[in-house]
Structure 1
Amino acid sequence: MRTEVFAVDAREPEKDAILRAAEVIRRGGLVAFPTETVYGLGADALSPRSVRRIFEAKGRPVDNPLIVHVGEREAADRLGKVDERSRKLMGLFWPGPLTLVIRAAGEVPAEVTGGLETVAVRMPAHPVAIALIKGSGVPIAAPSANRSGRPSPTTAEAVLEDLGGRVEIILDAGPTVVGVESTVLDVTGDLPVLLRPGGVSLEELARAVGPVLRSPGGDHDQRSPGTRYRHYAPSIPVVLLDPGDGWAKDRRLCRGGVRVAYVGMSPSPIAALIEIRFGTVEGYATGLFSALRELERSGADVILAELPAEEGVGLAVRDRLRRAAGKD
């Protein structure tokens, strides 16, 4: 398959490119498109055959549910049960990087839900994504547009690297802004449960709806994409660095003659082959996945990654780094 790449304006996407991409979606094909978080790999969410192509292209386990992207808040009612609390969250955070897990309607294919009774839904905050969804006339199921297990793509170049020849069209609107995936919140119970930290912080959610539980893991986590299997991993090992540990682990690696690449906010405590530093935790989130891809190409043997504080979007960065290191 030949993959076509269309450069589009992030704010006012060219109509011809959107029309071409929307036609591919309607015909059962795959389109990679930007959101504010990462690039997504989209297909018609109501077509089981189309959705199966997502799993084939990514090499993704079929029991891993997908997020359904909608172009307006009201479209969520077609996909599942939307209660008053969910509508409040939609009003506050949609469009934006918040995914809500709700009770699924009957017409949502099992391929989307992973065989569960729930469905994950969000409205992205990106003009290209919204134009594609509305132009297609259907909700779009879309995980991150990368090979399963790899770092998520925040540029069209990363999508092409992983999925070139596997998708019909890539819409290139430049780098994404948030950089980590959406927050996933289960709203089917008495209290909302945070299944995956992301672009909307736990603190923001608590201010909006009161107490939010942290997922206990296990079966509950299965309702969220990106939690059951190893994700976000570059091709070389990732070692996690916590400043509170005194960096002893790093020094042992250094003495062993290991070629080290470093990513974090603080200066590297050891000599590194290449070092990528971010001035803020928001910058860390935006640049994390691109940094992991750059560091794996550096010739290093291992990536040392500093864990930020567990607050704000730092919670999401910690989650992605732990999964990249195989710790969750």
Structure 2
Amino acid sequence: MNTEILPVDKWNPDERVLDYAAGILKEGGLVAFPTETVYGLGANALDAGAVLKIFDAKGRPADNPLIVHVSSREQARDVAIVEDRAEALMERFWPGPLTLVLPAKSGVPKEVTAGLETLAVRMPDHPVALGLIERAGLPLAAPSANKSGRPSPTTAQTVYDDLAGKIPLILDAGPTEVGMESTVCAIEKESLRIFRPGGCTLEELGKFAEKIVFETEGDLSKSSPGLRHRHYAPQVPLVLYDPEARKPSFFEKGRIGYIGMNVPPFSALRVIRFDSPAHFGRGFFAALREMEKEVDLIVVELPPAEGIGYALRDRIKRAAGG
């Protein structure tokens, strides 16, 4: 299969390009497209056969549920049961990097939900993504557009590197803005349960709930996309560096790369530093892919556990195999 990359202006997407991509989706094909978080690999969420192509292209385990992307709250109500509290969260955070785990309506294929009675739904904050969904007239099941287990894609080239020959089309609108996947949460009686921290911070969500329960381990991970298997792994070992801890001696051995916000207190062949947590989040996955080509070991500094730092710490630990 030939994989085509079509440039598209983020703020003024060419309708002909969107129509072409929408046509592929309507015929049961796959299209990689940009969102504000990472690039997604989209298929018609109501077509089980199309959804199965996502798992084949990515090499993704079929027991991992998918996020369904919509272009409006009305479209969300077509596939999920939306009650008042969910409506309030949508009003405040959509479009944006918040995925809500809601009761699924009948008609949503089990291939999307992994056989669960819930459905993960979000409305992306990106003109190309929204335009594509509107043109297709379909909700799109769309995990990250990368080989399963690899760092998430924040550029069209990264998508191509992983999926060339496996999908027909990639829409290229440049690097993504947030760089971390969406926050995934479920609404409980008196709390919000966070399955995956992401672009919508816990501090923001805390204004809309009496209690935030932060949970990504155990059986709860079965309810959320992206938590049941190892993710984000570079092709070389990755270890965590805590600025508060003593310097491990093995950092002095071999070709070492360092990613973080501070100056590394050890000799490193390659250093990628970020000037803020937001910048760190935006560039982390790209830094992993760049660094793995040059070093034998990647050392990543853990950022403070606040704001986007919660999501970053989660991704760093998962990339290290934790």
Instruction: Give the TM-score category using the shorter length.
Output: over 0.9
Paired residues of 2:196 and 2:216 also in contact (CA < 8 A): no
Task: Say which SS state the counterpart of residue 269 (structure 1) adopts.
Answer: coil
- What is the TM-score normalised by the length of structure 1? 0.97
* Structure 1 residue 122, shift from structure 2 partner: 0.1
Deviation digits for residues 6-48 of structure 1, max 9, x if unmatched? 0000111111110110000000000000000000000000000
Q: 1:216 to 1:166 in 2, by over 3 A?
A: closer
1:294 corresponds to which of 253, 266, 290: 290
- What is the TM-score normalised by the length of structure 2? 0.98
Distance 1:93 1:169 in 2: 29
Task: Say which SS state the counterpart of residue 42 (structure 2) adopts.
Answer: strand
Aligned residues: 322
Distance 1:322 1:272 in 2: 21
Distance 2:85 2:212 in 1: 12
Between stretches 188-197 and 143-152, larger displacement belongs to 188-197
* Structure 1 residue 189, shift from structure 2 partner: 4.9
Paired residues of 2:216 and 2:227 also in contact (CA < 8 A): no
Distance 2:124 2:189 in 1: 24
* Structure 1 residue 224, shift from structure 2 partner: 1.0
Distance 2:210 2:140 in 1: 31
Task: Say which SS state the counterpart of residue 258 (structure 2) adopts.
Answer: strand
Identical pairs, percent: 53
Give 2:166's aligned residue.
166
Task: Say which SS state the counterpart of residue 171 (structure 2) adopts.
Answer: strand
Deviation digits for residues 244-273 of structure 1, max 9, x if unmatched? 112x22x3331xx32101100001111111
Q: Which runs of 5+ in 1 are unaligned?
A: none
2:273 matched to 1:277?
yes
Distance 1:208 1:324 in 2: 31
Paired residues of 2:67 and 2:121 also in contact (CA < 8 A): yes
Give 2:72's aligned residue.
72
Give 2:257's aligned residue.
261
Distance 2:59 2:129 in 1: 23
* Structure 1 residue 219, shift from structure 2 partner: 1.3
Paired residues of 2:194 and 2:216 also in contact (CA < 8 A): no
Give 2:314's aligned residue.
319
Q: 1:189 to 1:24 in 2, by over 3 A?
A: farther
Distance 1:52 1:34 in 2: 21
Question: How large is the Cα RMSD of the aligned pairs?
Answer: 0.9
Paired residues of 1:103 and 1:188 also in contact (CA < 8 A): no
Task: Say which SS state the counterpart of residue 43 (structure 2) adopts.
Answer: strand
Q: Which runs of 5+ in 2 are unaligned?
A: none
Q: 1:306 to 1:130 in 2, by over 3 A?
A: same
Runs of 4+ in 1 over 4 A off after TM superposition: none
